[in-house]
Chain A
């Protein structure tokens, strides 16, 4: 089973920041948090991952709480092309498996 819980859906206005929350209260100390997104009928696209520090790349920022029980993916200026299902995944310790949950369906509107 997935070790994360996410809201089923969210809306965001184009040009605004999209903040996608994820709870992972049972995460272990050496398990990473990964974010992927899947645009309709395509393979998932890697966005970002982190262990305990906040991370930023050209796509997004990842904010992980100090207790590591939750995190937030931030798309700073959402565009219509960011409409997708966003998956927050805890990679199991010492394995290479990614267990996908149900994700958050983000709808960016004009």
Chain B
């Protein structure tokens, strides 16, 4: 089956620092990757969609200068939370699909805690 990994699985950082989260598709080439955020006891909220080689498309209300997304290859997308603050503490989850008509497969998630 399709496997998506994320690194790191959890990270603690100080307020004001930047954190990079990696999302990799391990056994397929993902033309499209997605980034979600999930706060405790809430559902997943789509943050942005990224296509390999082009700029990400952000959902309304998501600051593109704060959440930098790079999808430089067909197997890797990165999300950088810049100048993180405690309110950015959340569970960040990526997903990947072969193309935009195919099933999305999710990574295991990255838990970010900003102190």
Which residues of A are at the interface with B, using a C-beta cutoff of 8 A? 34, 36, 38, 41-46, 49, 87, 95-103
Contact = CB atoms under 8 A, between A and B. Distances in A.
Interface of chain B, helix or strand or loop or mixed? strand
Contacts, number: 51
A97 B43 contact: no
A23 B74 CA distance: 36
B49 A96 contact: yes
B44 A41 contact: no
Contacts of A46: 103-106
Interface of chain A, helix or strand or loop or mixed? loop
Contacts of A45: 106
A98 B6 CA distance: 19
B32 A96 contact: yes
Contacts of B46: 97-100
Contacts of B95: 43-44, 98
Contact of B107 (A34, A43, A102): A43
Nearest to B10: A41
